[in-house]
Amino acid sequence: MTSLENITDAQYEVLAIGSKIHATSLEHITDAQYKLLAIAPKIPATLSFVASIVIIRDILKNEVKMRNPYCRIVLGMASMDTLISFGIFLTTWAIPIDGLDTDLQAPYRSGNTNTCIFQGMLLQFTLASNIYNLCLAIYYFLSITTKYSEEEMRKIERMMHAAALTFGFGTSIAGIPLKLYNSAGPWCWISSLPFSCGLSSESDPSTCLRGKYAYAYRIAFLYGPLWVIILSITIIMIRIACHVRKRERLVAQYRFSQRGRGHLTRQVARHGFLYVVALYISIGPGTLSRLFETFNYEPPFVLMLLSVIFAPSQGFFNCFIYFKPKYGFLGCHFGSRISSFFTKNVNIDLIDPTAMLRQQQLEDNNRSDSDSLDSAADMPEQKDKIFK
Q: Provide φ and ψ at 28, rounded to 5°.
A: -80, -5
Can you give the pLDDT at residue 306? Answer: 93
Higher pLDDT, 201 or 388: 201
Residue 216 has pLDDT above 50, yes or no: yes
Can you give the pLDDT at residue 148? Answer: 79
Q: What is the pLDDT of residues 37-62, one digit of tens each?
A: 999 999 999 999 999 999 999 999 98
Tell me if 229 sits within 8 A of 130, measured CB to CB. Answer: yes
Residue 153 has pLDDT above 60, yes or no: yes
Q: Considering only 63-77, 87-101, 327-341, 361-375, which range has the smallest mean pLDDT? A: 327-341
Superfamily, domain 14-325+346-364: Rhodopsin 7-helix transmembrane proteins (1.20.1070.10)
The proportion of the chain whose per-residue pLDDT surpasses 90, expressed as a percent, equals 39
Q: What is the pLDDT of residues 160-181, one digit of tens each?
A: 999 999 999 999 999 999 999 9
Instruction: Tell me the pLDDT band of 361, cut-offs 50, 70 and 90.
Output: low
Of the chain, the end-to-end C-alpha distance in Å amounts to: 101
Q: What is the pLDDT of residues 302-312, one digit of tens each?
A: 998 999 999 99
Residue 37 parent element (H or E): helix 31-39
Sign of CA dihedral 82, 85, 87, 89: negative
Tell me if 310 sits within 8 A of 40, measured CB to CB. Answer: no
Q: What is the pLDDT of residues 242-284, one digit of tens each?
A: 888 887 777 666 654 454 455 667 777 888 899 999 999 999 8
Can you give the pLDDT at residue 107? Answer: 87
* Average pLDDT for 346-350: 39
What dihedral angle (degrees, nearest 10) is formed by the CA atoms of 205, 208, 210, 211? -30
Can you give the pLDDT at residue 288? Answer: 86
Residue 186 has pLDDT above 80, yes or no: yes
**Domain range summary for the chain, segments of one domain joined by +:** 14-325+346-364
Residue 19 has pLDDT above 60, yes or no: no
Can you give the pLDDT at residue 16? Answer: 44
Question: What is the rounded average pLDDT for all residues in the chain?
Answer: 78
Q: Tell me 220's DSSP state.
A: I
Can you give the pLDDT at residue 295? Answer: 73
- Angstrom distances, CA of residue 168 to CA of 79, 99, 252: 12, 30, 45
Classify residue 187 by burial, with Cβ atoms within 10 Å: 0-12, 13-18, 19+: buried
pTM for the whole structure: 0.80
